[in-house]
Structure 1
Amino acid sequence: MKDDFPFLLGCNGRGAQASSADRPVSLEEHSIDEQFRLVKEAGVFDYFDRLPLRSNQGEYEKAMQKYDLPVHTCSWFYMLGRDEALLHDNLKICQEVGAKCHNIMTFTHHADGHVLTDDEIMDHYLDAYDVGMGLGVEPSFELHVNMWTESFARVTPIAKRIMARGIPFNYTMDYSHVIFKIGDAEELDVSECREAVEAGEMELDPFAEGSLCQEWLDLGIVKWTQLRTVGPNQPKNRWHLNEDGSYGRGIQYPIVPPGPGEWHSPWHAYMVEPSKEAIRRALRYHVTHADSPLRYITTEMINLPDYALNAKYNLFEQNVEAARFIRRAWEEVKALHAAGLVA
C-alpha cells in the first residue's frame, strides 16, 4: 500500500479499458494481460478486482505474477435456487487466487419467482460465511440495483439479526446505487422508499446527518466501499437502447469532464460531489473508529449498459482519477483529524 494508506485500493476489471472517441466503451474487453498492465502502470492501485472464471483462471494467475499485481477481492452475482453450487465454487476460486473477500450480489427474486424473504437472505449469508471463512475468504453483501439490497430499508434489520447471532455482517457500500435515485420518483419506487423519503423518514443525501450512508457506517458493517460517481437524478445512458426501447438506467457520471463529443449530456462538477462525500464519510468514520471494519476500496467506473457503454471518454482514466481522489481525500481527512476537526 502507498503513502501510509490503510486500505487496499483496487480497480474493477470492467473499468480497465482505454476507450476513446475512435474506440468507444465496449462490452468487448481488452485482454486480461492488457487489463493488468493498465492497472499496474497507472501507479495508483494496489490490486486488480475481478473474479476469474474457471476458463481463464490461468490467464489471471499468469498476469498476477507478470505484473506483480494481486487480486485481493472478487465479485459475482447469484440467484438463490439456482446458483448455490456456483457460489461455493467461486469462493474456492477466491482462495486459489489469493483473494480474501468475495463480494456477493444476490438477486431480489428466487429462481422460482418469489421475492426472497429475510430468513432466506439470512440463511444465504450464513451459508456463504460458513463456507467462505472455512476457506479464508470473507463474504460481503453488496448494495446494488436489481438485488435485494435495492430495497434499502431491508439492509439494517437483516444486518442486525445476523450480528445478534455474534456473526459480523460484511457490507459492500456502493453508494452510487442510492445517489442516482435522489429526485427520481420512478427509481425511488423501485427501491420501495418514495413515501419514506418524501415524509422525511429516510434520508438518501450523504451530506445530510442521518443519511443511509451514515446509518450503515454507524452499524460498523462496511467492510468494502466503492466509488462510482453518479449524479442525483442524472441523465439516462442515451447512447444505449435496451430491447424494450428504454435507455440504460444511467448509474455513472464522469468524475472529470469528458471532452467535446465524448459524452451524451452536459457535465457539471457539482453533480459528482455527493459521490465524493459518501467516500469522505467512510474515511471519516474509519479515522475516528479504531474498530472500523473498512479494508477495501475499489473504483467502479465500468462498461455495462446502465453505466458507460458506448461513451467516448477514456473509461480507465476515469478510474485513475477516482483513485487519485480517494488518496487525496484520505490525506485531507487525516489532516483534519490531526487538527481536531474530525470527531
Structure 2
Amino acid sequence: MSAAARTLPPIGCNGRGAQASSLAAAVSLVEPPIEAQFSLVREAGVFDFFDRLPLPDQVDAYLRCIERFGLPVHTASWFYALGRDEPLLAEKLRLASAIGAATHNIMLYWHDASGRPITDDEVVDFYLRAYDQGMALGVEPAFELHVNMWSEDPRRIAPVAQAVQRRGIPFHFTLDYSHAIFKIGNPRELAICGLTQDVADGRAVLDPFQRGNFVDQWLEMGIVRWLQVRSVAPNGPRNLWSINDPGNSVAAVPVHSIFPYAAGEPGRGILYPFAEPAAGEWHSDWQPEALACTREVVRKVLDHHRAHADSPLRWITTEMINLPDYAHNARFSLIGQNAAIAGFVRDTWAASAPGC
C-alpha cells in the first residue's frame, strides 16, 4: 500500500460556505468579500485549502489571499451548457491554472443552450475536450454528480466513464452524493429523471447501506477523484425559507431545467444541517438519524481509499453552501456547519486507522 493511500487527502471548504451567518444574520446570496471568505476558512482551523474559482478580476486578490492565509486553491468549479459555453471552458481552465488549481470540477447541464437534452456521447466529447485543454495547462477535469446536470440520473455515469476510459483517458469523477441521497423516498425527485421503476425493482440502488449501490459501483470503478460532502436527509424537507423568484437568476440553475422550478415554491431539499441547529436556526425538525446516509458515504470512501494503494481520491471538500436549494436564509453558522463536517471526516479517518 502506498503512502498516498494511507494519507487523508487535503480537506477544503467551498467558498460559497464561508459565511459567519447567525440568528441575527441569515445565510445570504450576497457574499462576503474574497478576503473575508479566506479568513473564515482559515479561522475554522480544520481546513487545508480554499475551494473556488475566481472571476477574471479576482485573480490578484486570490493570489494575495493564498499567500496571506496559507490556503492554496487546489480545486475550482464551474457550470456549462453545450452549444453556448465551449469558449467559456477555455477561459475557466486558464483561471484555474492562474491560481494554481489542479482540478477543475465541471457541471454540464442536462440541456444544451437550445433546451435539448444532451446525449452521453456529447458528454464524453466535452470531457475529452476539457481533458485536452486542461492538461495542457496542468489542470485536470472532473465531472460531478449534480442536479440539473446530465448526471442527475446516476445511471448515466458508468457508461460515460467507461466510454472515456476506452479512449485511454482516465475519467475523474466528483462524488457529491447529496444529490442522490435527498431523492431516496421522494416520489417527485425519483420521477424527474425516470428513476422510479428502476429503484422500485432494485436495478438502481441509491441507499448506500444496500448492496449494489452506486457509491460502491463507482469506487470499484476507480473513478472517484474528489469527494464533496454536504449533509442531506433522505426525502428531507425543502428549503422553506427560500422561495423561488424567477426574476432572480441563481448560480447552477439553468434556463432549461429538469426540475420544474416555479414562482413561490421553496428550494429543493439538498441540505440538512450536520450540527444540530439551535431554536430558530432551521425551518424544520432535526433528527441525527437523518444523517446516517451522509456519514456512511464518507466512511465508504475513506475506507476504500485507505485499503487501495491505487486509490484515485485526491481531494475532499465540504459543501454546505448558500444557494436556494441548500442553506439560503438559514440562521445557523454556515462556516460552522462546514467545519463540523470537516471535523467528522478527520475523526472518521482517525477512527479507522490500524490499531484503533
- Give the structure-1-normalised TM-score: 0.95
State the match for 2:314 in structure 1: 295
Deviation at 1:68, TM superposition (A): 1.5
State the match for 2:299 in structure 1: 280
1:332 equivalenced with 2:351 (yes/no): yes
State the match for 1:219 in structure 2: 221
Contact 1:185 1:194 in 2 (8 A): yes
1:320 equivalenced with 2:322 (yes/no): no
5+ residue gaps, structure 1: none
State the match for 2:278 in structure 1: 259
Q: Counterpart of 1:56 in 2: which secondary structure? A: helix
Q: Quick one: which amino acid aligns to residue 34 of structure 1? A: A
Measured in 1, the distance between the counterparts of 2:18 and 2:276 equals 19
Contact 1:170 1:221 in 2 (8 A): yes
1:70 equivalenced with 2:89 (yes/no): no
Cα offsets for 1:268-288 (capped at 9, x unmatched): 000011011101100111111
Deviation at 1:162, TM superposition (A): 0.9
Q: Evaluate the alpha carbon distance shift between residue 30 and residue 65 of structure 1 in structure 2; reply closer, same or farther with a 3 A threshold.
A: same
5+ residue gaps, structure 2: 1-5, 246-262
Measured in 1, the distance between the counterparts of 2:275 and 2:45 equals 19
Aligned-residue CA RMSD (Å): 1.1
Within 5 Å, which residues of 2 pair with 1:192-207?
A: 192-207=194-209
Q: Quick one: which amino acid aligns to residue 47 of structure 1? A: F
Q: Matched residues, percent identical?
A: 52
Cα offsets for 1:37-83 (capped at 9, x unmatched): 11112221110000001022221111111112110100010111111
Deviation at 1:119, TM superposition (A): 1.2
Q: Counterpart of 2:271 in 1: which secondary structure? A: coil
1:52 equivalenced with 2:71 (yes/no): no
Measured in 2, the distance between the counterparts of 1:36 and 1:74 equals 14
State the match for 2:142 in structure 1: 140
Measured in 2, the distance between the counterparts of 1:99 and 1:237 equals 32
Q: Counterpart of 1:139 in 2: which secondary structure? A: strand
Contact 1:104 1:139 in 2 (8 A): yes
**Runs ≥4 residues deviating over 2 A:** none
Cα offsets for 1:77-114 (capped at 9, x unmatched): 01111111111111111111100000000001111221
Higher relative contact order (CA 8 A, sep 6+): 2
Cα offsets for 1:176-227 (capped at 9, x unmatched): 0000000001101113211100011111111122101111111100000111
Deviation at 1:5, TM superposition (A): 4.2
Q: Counterpart of 1:196 in 2: which secondary structure? A: helix
Match of 1:124 among 102, 122, 126: 126
1:234 equivalenced with 2:253 (yes/no): no
Measured in 1, the distance between the counterparts of 2:22 and 2:224 equals 35
Q: Quick one: which amino acid aligns to residue 318 of structure 2? A: T
Match of 1:97 among 96, 99, 107: 99
Q: Counterpart of 1:245 in 2: which secondary structure? A: coil
Measured in 2, the distance between the counterparts of 1:201 and 1:298 equals 30
